[in-house]
Chains A and B, each alone.
Chain A
Amino acid sequence: MKQRMPKRRSLLGTSPGDLLFSEPGAALIVFAVLALLPVFFSGYIIYILPQYMLFGVLAMSLGLLWGFAGLVSFGQAGFFALGAYTMGLAMKWGGGFDPAYLGLLLSLVVGGILAAMVGYFLFSAGVRGAYFVLVTLALSIMVEQVAVSQSQITGGWNGMFIDRMSLNLGPLGQISLFDDAAIYYVILPVVAAVYIVLYTITVTRFGKILTGIRENEDRLISLGFNASLYKTGIFAISGAVACFAGALYGTHANFVAPSLAGVLFSTEVVVWVAIGGRGSLLGVLLGGIVVASFSNYLSAITPQYWQLVLGLLFVAVILYFRGGVAGAVAQFVNARRAK
């Protein structure tokens, strides 16, 4: 008797269990929880959570680069700070357009173009691996130094104050976003939207080609793919995303300083992604949110020991848990479902 192939019943899986345990399912749960939080809590946590969510987006920009394309970048913080500064300048100058939208749009463009230029410059010469890491680290430092030295524009070491944006709905008027909950409910959907866009990228052909480049770049080149163009593309996307997140962060935190571009913050982003799980966008998003918020919380209580624990955790993750928390969870879930 001929075996018949089972018909696929849906795109994501064949049972509710599959749906729940797949990443989009888990993401849905996470965003639902985040959406309901302001209903039950108020005060500082609702104020600060959007910032951590934006850190999560920053982490996703690195997760996209590192987890899918295999490119470690120590420079995402540079783009983040660049976005914040861009937003600050846009809010100050306006220029006839709605300053907030101008800032957001500009941040996407600036981040994307800068990353594309640098990426093309480097990848087209076959700069890979360690050199790339170094250049991104240098980039971050350069952004920090430009921010410090051009103090007439940026305020130098003292940083720059940024206005809180308001939501301009055109003919429907403007909604002030001074209220914590108001801006929370603007940033949350944006973060969710970015997640959806990035996740979609990873499951398309583009994403698969990048995975191929990560695994064996030479083979893909021999198959005829222009690897450097793909790498430039993903770098441009991640730069734009990081810059965009920075712009939102700037208008939320109302302040940006050169240290946002510095080596230490760049490092933190890498730590978030490593612990969260570089292979999973959701893992990385949560890694950013959770690790950053824990760092803030515990550093108030035990600053030195927490940083030390974080460093040791980072080393442990690289040594033993290469997939980070997300990887460990996935293994656990798969093992249980196989029974």
Chain B
Amino acid sequence: MSTALSVVVDVTLITLILALAAFGLAIIYGLVGVINMGHGAMLTLGAYLTWAATTAGFPFVISVFLAAAGVAVIGLLLEHIVIRPFYDRPFDTLLLTWGFFLVSTEVVKIVFGTDLRNVANPVPGAFDLGGVQLPAYRTMIAGTSLLLIAGSALVFFYTALGIKIRALIQNREMASLLGLDVSRMYKMVFVTGSFIAGLAGALISPMLSVDPYIGNIFLVRSFFVVIVGGIGQLLGGTLIGSFLIGGSETLFALFTGQVFAQTVVFAVAIVVLRFRPHGVLRSG
């Protein structure tokens, strides 16, 4: 039946797009334990930088990379100046990244103004899949998300860098005792997480009208994705978390309104968290 198929398609697309948005946070939170409340702001910055680049005449793909790189640089500055002394104090990093969100939002408002901006959809239209209309652009982002996750899996499991990252997750102290340059790893992790968050914001920008709070919708959702999926479970966790959060929201929205569906999902996520505080994938 085409409605069942369209629901499956919808859920898959939402899952992958949410996974893309949450992946940057999963990296930062999962690997260095920084509760990046500025994650939404990074998404927002990615979207605005993309708008600025496309308006300046750069083709879409270049704009996206420029935006992501821009956010990565901002992330590097943030890490170096503000976050570095506070890695073992999660509350402080939480508040500091929240401060970053406040400052960044205001700067965006000052530089870009508060009017809604639009980034043109580079791949408009839709194509047909067994009677269901697949919006071409969303499919492309979902595909990118899948590629990114697959690529990360490759790095994770088949490279030396991947081994170092896994060591960092498993036992930070031991890893540093064995010679891992922990502070350099932390910088790299933060920068990579910022890059991916910026990338996600950039890619998402044609889907929504760009305003200073565009990233906020994804902030709490991303956190729930990461926590429900399991901190440190970068790949499977993010996908499962996105499926549970994004997918269930889409499913609930079929019965109740969109807004109420979000409430229900949060409530369910809180309940899940209470019984499985380490996420769905980790045991216990």
Contact = CB atoms under 8 A, between A and B. Distances in A.
A118 to B, nearest CB: 8
Contacts of B106: 304, 307-308, 311
Contacts of A318: 92, 95-96, 99
Interface in B116-147: none
B251 interface: no
A59 to B, nearest CB: 16
Interface string A219-248: 000000000000000000000000000000
A130 B90 contact: yes
Interface in B225-284: 227, 257, 259-260, 262-263, 266-267, 269-270, 273-275, 277
Interface string B82-104: 10000000111011101110110
Contacts of B227: 131, 134
B1 interface: no
| Prevailing SS type, chain B contact patch | helix
Given A134-B227, A315-B103, A72 B91 contact: yes
Given A142-B263, A315-B82, A130 B94 contact: yes
B277 A134 contact: no
Contact of A125 (B95, B110, B277): B277
Interface stretch (A36-44, A143-151, A182-190): A143-151
Contacts of B220: 134, 137-138, 141
Interface residues of B, number: 36
A311 B99 contact: yes
B18 to A, nearest CB: 16
B103 A308 contact: yes
Interface in A116-168: 121-122, 125-127, 129-131, 133-135, 137-138, 141-142, 145-146, 148-149
A289 interface: no
Contacts of B103: 308, 311-312, 315
A121 B94 CA distance: 23
A67 to B, nearest CB: 12
B215 to A, nearest CB: 12
B204 interface: no
Nearest to B100: A315
Interface size bracket, A side:
35 or more
Contacts of B91: 72, 129-130
A311 B92 CA distance: 15
A263 interface: yes
B82 to A, nearest CB: 7
Nearest to B111: A304
A109 B182 CA distance: 50
A304 B277 CA distance: 40
Contacts of A126: 277
B223 interface: yes
A72 to B, nearest CB: 6
Interface in A305-326: 305, 307-308, 310-312, 314-315, 318-319
A123 B260 CA distance: 26
B110 A305 contact: yes
A314 B110 contact: no
Contacts of B263: 141-142, 145-146, 149
Contacts of B195: none
A60 interface: no
A129 B63 CA distance: 38
A319 B86 CA distance: 9
A72 B94 contact: yes
A49 interface: no
12 contacts: A125-B275, A131-B227, A131-B273, A133-B35, A138-B220, A141-B220, A145-B262, A146-B263, A263-B216, A304-B106, A304-B109, A311-B99
List 6 A-B pairs, minimum CB-CB distance, nearest first: A311-B102, A315-B99, A308-B106, A311-B103, A138-B266, A145-B263
Given A126-B277, A304-B109, A318-B95, 19 more contacts: A127-B274, A129-B90, A129-B91, A130-B94, A133-B35, A142-B267, A146-B263, A148-B259, A149-B259, A270-B95, A271-B102, A304-B110, A308-B106, A308-B110, A310-B102, A311-B105, A315-B96, A315-B103, A318-B96
Interface of A: 72, 121-122, 125-127, 129-131, 133-135, 137-138, 141-142, 145-146, 148-149, 263, 267, 270-271, 274, 304-305, 307-308, 310-312, 314-315, 318-319
